[in-house]
Structure 1
């Protein structure tokens, strides 16, 4: 007797088996992009395939694709710019540039601007 491997089951049989198990699977069509936001930045999936699976009242989403990471823009408070400008004795624009380059690290920005 020959065993059937999962790869040998036709899609209709698979769908019938899944329905008997209480599983529903569907594809979300025409997905343009998926973005997963984190404090450090965003994972962006362009042209992703998304499969929705519902089983026993629980829904899961499977995302397939190749993501790229986009670092979060650093938000520099005006007080930090003023403090660095004052301490390093530079214009606010230079202080902001240094803070952006050091990802908001005030001490590092001051040292960077104070170094010859």
Structure 2
């Protein structure tokens, strides 16, 4: 857009400020986008940048999303909120895609990944970190 392929980042920031564009990094843990067709794109530990150009805010998300069914996500989120010892329900509600991601990234079995996800309340990053 600006043709600043090899431009000094400091110079680029000065130019953007002169044009009335403010850029801020946001320390996000998770970003969830729900689509019209009932899917959710879940970004764990993404890089999020907020750009304000003359009153219009734009957000940029950088990361690799996992795709899950929004209805299954609602069940998972609801079971995460219960604190009545119903870990069997929470474990059953964890999407197979999440289990596969944790197992692959941490190099463990699916059962170990499922247990780590249940212990982490479905948080992929926390489950992976606990297994590494």
Q: 3-state DSSP class of the match of 1:9?
A: coil
> What residue is the counterpart of 1:13 in the other structure?
11
More helix by share: 2
Moved over 4 A (4+): none
Q: Which among 42, 46, 49 is matched to residue 48 of structure 1?
A: 46
State the alpha-carbon separation in 2 of the partners of residues 16 and 51 from structure 1.
17
Larger strand fraction of residues: 1
Partner of 1:70, secondary structure, is strand
Q: Which runs of structure 2 are paired with 1:1-116 in the superposition (5 Å)? A: 6-29=4-27, 31-39=28-36, 40-73=38-71
SS in 2 for 1:14: helix
Tell me the distance in 2 between the aligned counterparts of 1:63 and 1:73.
23
Runs of at least 5 residues in structure 2 that lack an aligned partner in the other structure? 73-132
Give 1 or 2 for the bigger CA radius of gyration. Answer: 1
Could you tell me the TM-score, scaled by structure 1's length? 0.54
Query: Could you say what secondary structure the match of 2:11 adopts?
Result: helix
Distance of 2:71 and 2:15 partners within structure 1: 48
Conserved 8 A contact 2:31-2:43: yes
